[in-house]
Structure 1
Amino acid sequence: MESQQYTQSPSLDDCLKLFMSERDEQRLAGLVHVTEFRKADDLSSLLVIYHALGSRFLDRLLSTAATRGDDAYLHLSSTALAAFCRVPEIAASKDMALKIPRVVQVLWLSKQGQGPILEECYEFLYLVSIASEVGAMALHKSGDMKLLASHILILSDGFRQMELAIKLVQLILGKLVFLDEYVAELSVIVAAVTRQFAVLHHAVKFDALHLLSAMLS
C-alpha cells in the first residue's frame, strides 16, 4: 500500500522528511507542496501528510497567522486546511471542527471581497460543516449567519467565494429551526443572492434559486 503511494507521488517521501524536522522552516517548506497533491486529487497522500504533520502544528500556524495578520501565513494555513479537508476522514474529525472559530476569526478580519484566502477559508468551512454534525454545530456557534450577512456584501459576484457562501447558507438554513432571530441577516443575504442571477450561468444559479425559495417561503 505504502509503496504504491510512493510510486504515484514521488515527492511524498521528500515532504515527509521535511515534516519530521524539528525546524518549523522545514515543515513550512513541506507544507507548500500540499497543493500539488490537492491538484492531483491524491487523497491518500494528503491523509499520510496530515498524520505526519500533526494537528498541533496547523493550530500554531493558523493562530500565528491570525494574530499577526500575515497574508502569506494565512494563505499557507488556509490552503493547507482546505486541501486536507478534501479527505472526508479529516474533514469529519474533531480537530477540524475545533479550528472553525479561528477560521471564522480570519474571515471577520478580512477586508477583501476576493482572493485565495477567502476562497480557502470558505471551502474549509463548507467541507467541515457537511462532513459532520459536530462541524455544523461549531460553525453555527461561531456566528455563521452574522458572518455570512456581513461578508456576502463584499464578496465579488460570480466568484467561487460567493458560490461557497451560497452553499453554506443552504446548509445552515437546513439546520436552523427558528429563522425569526435572523431576519436582518436574511434580508441582506436575499439581496446579495438575487444579484447572482445576472452573473451566474451554471449550476450554482439553481442553488441560488433554491436558496431564495427557502428563505422567502
Structure 2
Amino acid sequence: MLRALIALLTLSFLISCGEMVTESTKDARILLMGDSMMAANRGSNNAVADEIERRLGEEVIDRSIIAARYFYYLPLTGAAGLRLPSQYLPGKWDWVVLNGGGNDLMFGCGCGYCSGMVDRLISKDGKSGAIPELVGRIRANGARVVFSGYLRNPGLYTPVRACKPFGDELDRRLARLDAADPGFFFLPMSDLVPRGDPSLHQQDLMHPSPKGSAAIGARIAATIRKAEN
C-alpha cells in the first residue's frame, strides 16, 4: 500500500507539479500558489492565473497543485508541491497570490470537529499558525500578498456544506491578519456566486468553472492594479 502511495505521489510530481521559473519567465513579478481552486481549468488556459495574466498583461508563475494542503506528512508531498508552503519559490516577486486551507478542513478533520484545525491554520487573533507563518516568510522577502478566500454556493446542495461554518471562521481570522499588515490583502470570495447560480462551479459544486476562475482572477487582478496605482 505504501509503495503504491509513493508511486502515486511521484506521478503527481511528474505530471502536475507547478510551473518553474525559466529563462523566458525569469522577469515575472507575480507568483501564484494554492490548491485546486487555483489549479482548476489550467488545461484549457482558463485557470485563475490565466485570467490574471489577461487582465494585467503580464506573466504569472502558477505553482498551484490540485489537493494541496498546509499539513501533509506523507513522503514526497513537499517535493510534489502538495504541501502548500513548499510551492513557494524565493525570488524578486512583487506579488504572491495564494489560497488554501479548504483541503485541510475537508480531509484533515472531515468538515466535522474542525475548530482545532482552524486554530492550526490561523489563530483567532490572526497572528500565528501555518498561514501567518507562510505569509510572514513571503513578506520578509519583500513581496506583497493577496490571499483569496473560497467560493461559496448559496442556495445549492453541496457535499462540503458542513465546512461552511469553519470556512467562515477562517475568513474572519484572515480579515484580522489583513487589518494588521498593509502588505497583506485578504479577498473574500463568499459573495461572488449569486444565490442558486451553478455557473461559477463545475458539476461537483466545489471547484470553479472557467467562469468561476475568471471571476476570481478578475477580483485579484483588480486588487493588484488598485494597490499599484
Normalised to the residue count of structure 2, the TM-score between the two structures is 0.31
Larger radius of gyration: 1
Name whichever structure is richer in strand by fraction: 2
Normalised to the residue count of structure 1, the TM-score between the two structures is 0.32
Higher relative contact order (CA 8 A, sep 6+): 2
